[in-house]
Amino acid sequence: MSKVITHSLFTDFDIDLFKAGKHYRLYEKLGAHLIEIDGVKGVYFAVWAPTAHSVSVVGDFNYWTQGEHLLQVRWDSSGIWEGFIPLIEKGATYKYKIQSNNDGIVTEKADPFAFYCEQPPNTASIVWDLDHKWSDSKWMKSRQDHNGLDKPYSVYEVHLGSWKRHGEENRFLTYLEFAEDLVAYVKETGFTHVEFMPIMEYPYDPSWGYQLVGYFAPTSRFGNPQEFMMLVDKLHQAGIGVILDWVPSHFPDDAHGLGFFDGSNLFEHPDRRKGYHPDWKSLVFNYGRNEVRSFLISNALFWLQHYHADGLRVDAVASMLYLDYSRKDGEWEPNIYGGRENLDTISFLKEFNEAVYLNYEGVQTIAEESTSFPMVSRPTSVGGLGFGMKWMMGWMHDTLEYFQKDTVYRKYHQNELTFSMTYTFSENFMLPLSHDEVVYGKKSIAGRMPGDEWQKFANLRLLYGYMFTHPGTKLLFMGSEFGQSGEWNFESSLDWHLLQFPFHEGVKKLITDLNALYKSEPALYEKQFSPEGFEWINYSDHQNAVFSFIRKGNKPKDDLIIVCNFTQVVRPNYRIGLPKKGKLKEIFNSDATIYAGSGVGNTGKLAIESSPYDGRDYSIELLLAPLSVNVFKIS
């Protein structure tokens, strides 16, 4: 095997950007790159290891022998080791053997910038390329029309390892199989976007992908990088957006990973009070180190550039923002102003969002942030963190708490539902019913509903109808769309057999129709983040556990009237006030027989009366179905 040849892909400007934390395309320089020099093909390797005494590339091409292929450190104090090894081909496996200046510590690490990794439990990196002939140009040119904040945004959250498995052997589907089955299913049910729980390479299945090792590599569990590109391509061709979960909050301490990379705290913060996460027993990035910021922002832009992702949902933002997160007194140190906010994190998140929105049109960043930290989804120019949207965790907890109550007690708790409207427009909120709500003894969403089987499914349909008519975008975890009975199990397929039963098939039909309603009615999305898009009719009828409101679009003719009945009691002659005269037509009823409901509803066009009610000049009497959402339109 040929020896290492001196070569560099870095310019002086690259190094200056890297040191300043402003190099957002590091993946084009660091890592393993198939190139040709003087007619000889091979691989250029580059790795950041500033405390290393020596760095060897070891792999199947040199029998994993240390010292056979030594990289050379750059002269510019960047800490980058590099070199070109001739004749290595695509598919070669490799690692970096790093001997540190710190007491001669030796580490053997996977490449932080590898495009492909061995399938766990194997841990080597694989030389690979990013070639793919994309066929989604139509989507990419017009995706602003799908991803804008004034567009319908209904997300199907998917864990690829357990959406569907194959046969008795319970094997994973491949990316190419997902490109057929998943794409067809999402198109059928009408979701506008898919959100993949982390697909970057991770070593431990029970982490669900939230403890990453290969930040630039889609997991090899389901195929190679080009096959994942094909899945994204097919989704786009079907008119479906792709959101990727992104985890800059922490990483595992596996021996081949980022931790203690070159014998020093290179990626993680050296102060354990900031560099170790007690909940997940994982390491926390050093957000104040320029080179680490370049690594993370480069990673975010990488998935937008090379995998055509339409958005990044950033995991565990709250854990990043607070120095005392999950820490007791004495286990954290206040910032320079005496506060608990992590100033380095705040600066990093602002820079990340600015870089994303500056470089890519028509994308969204979404924060999973569970506290009341202000202005998460407001522009950095006005002091916000710069995210496009934020998960509405308060709505999720209050709503699920309410729906678990027996209907006889709901009249005492109506404020748990109406409270969300006091802060709904303080952020650009996404309403999530996510994977976190169907594990660890919480039961499935359907399993939380009270009453007999009929009431359970009526409650479930009511919950989804309320969710889709409430201001904000939507997210639903897989299986919830057909009323999965049991908790999510990451080791097996969803319970698809349940769709043979009318109640489950009815919920799936309901979700399909709610997605269609959301996309077809501008009042549900044009002003979903504006107080101008919502108006209460009556929120105080606690005794009957009923409330009613108006959703508004840009044109008054698009306004919708929504009435929710949260008990199983049919309400005949239920009067509500209305803003104008005309005819009222029911366009959606969650109790319809096509959803396995009882079929109670309002047929035909109903005349609005000049009879004052609810502080309005006009009103109408309606027939409210049990445990239902009714949506009406005035003509």
CA 566, CA 626: separation in Å to the nearest integer? 8
299-336 pLDDT, tens per residue? 999 999 999 999 999 999 999 999 999 999 989 999 99
Angle at Cα 347 formed by Cα 343 and Cα 349, nearest 5°? 115
Of 240, 272, 246, 242, nearest in space to 259 by CA? 272
492-543 pLDDT, tens per residue? 999 999 999 999 999 999 999 999 999 999 999 999 999 999 999 999 999 9
Please report which helix (H) or strand (E) contains residue 333, including its range. none
The answer to whether domain 12-126 and domain 531-634 are alike in fold is: yes
Please report which helix (H) or strand (E) contains residue 330, including its range. none
CA 254 vs CA 26, 126, 213, 296, 472: distances in Å: 23, 18, 8, 19, 39
Q: Residue 16, Cα to own-chain centre: how many angstroms? A: 33
For the domain covering 154-247+311-330+358-524, report its CATH number: 3.20.20.80
With the C-alpha atoms ordered 227, 484, 244, 127, is the resulting torsion angle positive or negative?
A: negative
Structure tokens at 136: 């989604």
- What pLDDT was estimated at residue 168? 78
CA 181 vs CA 166, 187, 188, 630: distances in Å: 12, 10, 11, 33
CA 333, CA 353: separation in Å to the nearest integer? 27
CA 255, CA 261: separation in Å to the nearest integer? 9
List own/partner pairs for 367-375 with CB under 8 A and 24 or more apart: 367/313, 367/314, 367/317, 367/391, 368/313, 368/314, 368/315, 368/316, 368/317, 368/318, 368/432, 369/317, 369/318, 369/321, 369/393, 370/318, 371/318, 371/321, 371/322, 373/318, 373/321, 375/427
- What pLDDT was estimated at residue 570? 97
Are 330 and 154 a contacting pair, CB within 8 Å?
A: no
Question: Residue 382: is it exposed, middle or buried by C-beta count within 10 angstroms (0-12/13-18/19+)?
Answer: exposed
CA 155 vs CA 316, 392, 489, 535, 591: distances in Å: 19, 14, 20, 25, 24
Question: Residue 409: is it exposed, middle or buried by C-beta count within 10 angstroms (0-12/13-18/19+)?
Answer: exposed
CA 462, CA 485: separation in Å to the nearest integer? 17
- What pLDDT was estimated at residue 1? 52
CB neighbours of 328 closer than 8 A, spacing ≥ 6? none
3-class state of residue 276 by DSSP: strand
Whole-model pTM over 0.95: yes
Please report which helix (H) or strand (E) contains residue 155, including its range. strand 154-158
Class of domain 531-634: mainly beta
> Could you write out the three-class secondary structure of 173-229?
CCHHHHHHHHHHHHHHHCCCEEEECCCEECCCHHHCCCCCCEEEEECCCCCCHHHHH
Structure tokens at 199: 């697909």
CA 26, CA 372: separation in Å to the nearest integer? 34
- What pLDDT was estimated at residue 481? 98
- Per-domain residue ranges for the chain? 12-126, 154-247+311-330+358-524, 531-634
Of 434, 449, 450, 439, nearest in space to 487 by CA? 439
197-248 pLDDT, tens per residue? 999 999 999 999 999 999 999 999 999 999 999 999 999 999 999 999 999 9
Are 565 and 631 a contacting pair, CB within 8 Å?
A: no
Residue 500 backbone dihedrals phi, psi, to 5 degrees: -75, -10
3-class state of residue 365 by DSSP: strand
CA 491, CA 12: separation in Å to the nearest integer? 49
CA 298, CA 286: separation in Å to the nearest integer? 15
CA 442, CA 483: separation in Å to the nearest integer? 15
Q: Which fold has domain 12-126?
A: Immunoglobulin-like (2.60.40)
Any idea which residues carry the catalytic annotation?
315, 368
CA 472 vs CA 258, 348, 536: distances in Å: 37, 26, 16
For the chain, 635 residues long, the average pLDDT of each consecutive 10-residue run is 86 97 97 96 98 96 94 96 97 97 91 97 97 97 94 98 90 97 98 98 95 97 98 98 98 96 96 93 96 98 98 97 94 95 97 98 96 96 98 97 96 95 97 96 96 97 98 98 96 96 98 98 98 97 97 96 97 96 96 97 94 96 97 95
* Pairing label, strands 311-314, 241-246: parallel
Residue 418 backbone dihedrals phi, psi, to 5 degrees: -75, -20
CA 7, CA 82: separation in Å to the nearest integer? 7
CA 13, CA 78: separation in Å to the nearest integer? 12
> Could you write out the three-class secondary structure of 546-578?
EEEEEECCCCHHHCEEEEEECCCCCEEEEEEEE
